[in-house]
Amino acid sequence: MSKKHTTLTLKYLGINTHKEPVIYMREDCYICKSEGFTAQTRVRVILNERSIVATLNTVESNLLRHNEASLSIYAWELLAAKEGEKIALTHPQQLDSLSYIRSKIYGNELTAEQTTHIINDIVSGQLSDINIAMYLAASGGDRLSMKEIIDLTRAMIHSGQQLSWDIPFIVDKHSVGGLPGNRTTPIVVSIVAAFGLVIPKTSSRAITSPAGTADTMEVFTNVDLSINEMKKVVEQENGCLVWGGSMALSPADDLLIRIERTANIDSEGQMVASILSKKIAAGSNHLVIDMPIGTTAKVRSIERANSLKKLLKTVAEEFDIRTKVIFSDGSQPVGRGIGPVLEALDVLAVLNCDKHAPQDLREHALVLAAHIIEFSPQVLPGQGLSIATHLLNTGKALAKFEAICRAQGGLREIKKAPIVHTVESKLSGIIINIDNRHISQLAKLAGAPRSKAAGVELLSPLHSIVKKSQPLFRIYADTRGELNYALDFLKQGHEVFQIEASV
């Protein structure tokens, strides 16, 4: 085999497969033939000092010439490739991580080394989406032991950057989620930073929900900051409200979440590792975790909440993180809006102390801020709430919020969605149940979080009395197609509000 045949020249085709590395080669090319590569073969692609494993898609002669190959955009990025460069191709070695995943499927406990190996292979692009999906499913439910969760957390921390701070006392908050509209973070950060504690808050975008905190904050300001830019904001304002993704904190987490999202799964062990790895990588050492409990929230029972709390506290202790887990009412959405823009409007109303602001959001944010403030050695237990309330009522929290937004790149104007549809009650009676999952679904079908202004606005809270034809909620969408998709969901009989008729 002469040397000149072992490389192919890169041609750019511009095919975007999201985060799946794909290589495109001609079925009749020399390398495919000599190496026995066919469609869906996993192929190692080597360029300069870098190498990835990509899935092969074969193409016909209309797209590539002899001696040419192409890559999906993600693979171009992983390899930092340029058109015209020459890649070498081999069979990938048997990946040890694949046998560890298999072992996990068969119910074995993985060692720390095995977990680290899997996570590193995910981050460096060696494992296919199918392999990652199998790892996640095999770890689902309660199939990770405490030791495995700790190992996974550590592996995820080390998979990316770790922030370090000159101050020894760094606070943070996290919400376990599942409760639509529970957008306390911007309010909590503003109060805590106004109090003087350092809270370098990084948030995620939506995983399976209609909006993540980063999606909502992006309505107000730029959230896509480099680590240095973020540090500058925190030095100046004590806090920030940025997207964690651009920080490369626990990058494994983002890759796992990408696959979890396609099946809407979010397992207990993965959840704990995901939460804590981000916080620890961000350098926090004092953490308040908000855990709403409700039949349609992510945590549905007090038993589950206690088990998750124990898991979180045990793993956090292992990494010397002081943690408080705060249970809250998850029986109905918090605030009125569900979707980035609609939630942003709720946040703004609370910070403005607007008398029409959703009181549940205000109170919930104050309680969380109080718990964080009480981490401070100068504050006596029980004092936190009055301190937080004072900072909110005097406008100091609002001023801090605006200062943080300006430091991150300026305050943006909020634009509402062009298409609005109001859903009315079909009967008179009392609202006896609100289905959080169906509301989230509806907001997502309407386009959230991709369409910032899309979502659902709730007009009548749980236990309130409604008349026939009284508006229950509004659906906002950017396009009529998306609105129709949401309406189809309702037409299929999915119930959002359960109303008991008055007699």
Catalytic residues: 266
Taken in order 305, 308, 314, 319, is the CA torsion positive or negative? negative
Counting residues that bind a second copy (by CB under 8 A) gives 71
Among 23, 71, 110, 133, binds a second copy (CB under 8 A): 133
177 binds a second copy (CB under 8 A): no
Residue 53 bridge partners (DSSP): 44
Q: How many CA atoms lie within 13 A of 226 on its CB side?
A: 2
Sign of CA dihedral 317, 366, 242, 260: positive
Least spacing, CB of residue 115 vs a second copy, in Å: 16
Kindly tell me which of 31 and 156 has the beta carbon lying closer to a second copy: 31
Q: Which is nearer to a second copy, 138 or 405 (CB)?
A: 138
Site for a second copy in 136-165 (CB under 8 A): 136-138, 140-143
Closest by CA to 170, choosing from 249, 85, 41, 282, is: 282
Of 80, 167, 263, 302, the one binding a second copy (CB under 8 A) is 263
Backbone dihedral angles phi then psi of residue 470, each to the nearest 5 degrees = -75, 135
> Which C-beta is closer to a second copy: that of 93 or that of 378?
93
Q: Which of 3, 36, 228, 377 binds a second copy (CB under 8 A)?
A: 36
**CB 403, CB 220: distance < 8 Å:** no
Shortest distance in whole angstroms from residue 337 CB to a second copy: 19
**Segment interacting with a second copy (CB under 8 A) among 241-249, 261-269, 316-324, 460-468:** 261-269
- Decide whether 41 or 185 has the Cβ nearer to a second copy: 41
Q: Which stretch binds a second copy (CB under 8 A): 31-39, 249-257, 361-369, 373-381?
A: 31-39
| DSSP conformation letters of 185-240 | HHHHHHHHHHHT-BEEEEEPPPSSSS--HHHHHHHHS-----HHHHHHHHHHHSEE
* 419 backbone dihedrals φ, ψ, rounded to 5°: -115, 125
The answer to whether residue 18 forms part of the interface with a second copy (CB under 8 A) is: yes
Interacting span for a second copy (CB under 8 A) from 75-83, 129-137, 170-178, 301-309? 129-137
Is there binding between residue 377 and a second copy (CB under 8 A)? no
- Which CB, 304 or 322, lies closer to a second copy? 304
Dist CA 113 CA 121 (whole Å): 12
Our finding on whether 203 is near a second copy (CB under 8 A) is no
Report the run of H or E that residue 88 belongs to, with start and end.
strand 86-90
Angle at 486 (CA atoms; ends 485, 488), nearest 5 degrees: 65
With binding defined as CB under 8 A, does residue 485 bind a second copy? yes
Using rule CB under 8 A, residue 19 touches a second copy: yes
Helix (H) or strand (E) holding 256: helix 251-263
Interacting span for a second copy (CB under 8 A) from 195-203, 369-377, 426-434, 443-451: 443-451
Task: Give the binding range for a second copy (CB under 8 A) out of 117-125, 128-136, 213-221, 298-306.
Answer: 128-136
Q: 4 and 60 in contact (C-beta within 8 Å)?
A: no
Q: Given CA atoms 494, 328, 298, 211 in this order, what sign does their dihedral have? A: positive
Comparing CA positions, the residue from 205, 201, 208, 333 lying closest to residue 261 is 208
- The nearer residue to a second copy, 35 or 402, going by C-beta atoms, is 35
Q: Does residue 476 touch a second copy according to CB under 8 A?
A: no
Q: Which residue has the tokens 């060692």?
A: 111
State which H helix or E strand residue 323 sits in. Answer: strand 322-329
Contact segment (CB under 8 A) with a second copy among 94-102, 291-299, 335-343, 358-366 equals: 94-102
| Distance in Å, CB of 478 to a second copy, minimum | 8
Question: Does 93 sit near a second copy (CB under 8 A)?
Answer: yes
482 binds a second copy (CB under 8 A): yes
Residues between 56 and 75 that touch a second copy (CB under 8 A): 57-60, 62-63, 72
**39 belongs to the binding site for a second copy (CB under 8 A):** yes
Cβ neighbours around 299 below 10 Å, total: 24
Q: What is the C-alpha to C-alpha distance for residues 492 and 494, in angstroms, rounded to an integer?
A: 6
Choice from 202, 213, 238, 267 touching a second copy (CB under 8 A): 267
38 binds a second copy, rule: CB under 8 A: yes
- 42 touches a second copy (CB under 8 A): yes
Give me the DSSP letters along 388-453.
Answer: HHHHHHTTHHHHHHHHHHHHHT-PPPP---SEEEEEE-SS-EEEEEE-HHHHHHHHHHTTTTTSTT
> Is 122 a residue that touches a second copy (CB under 8 A)?
no
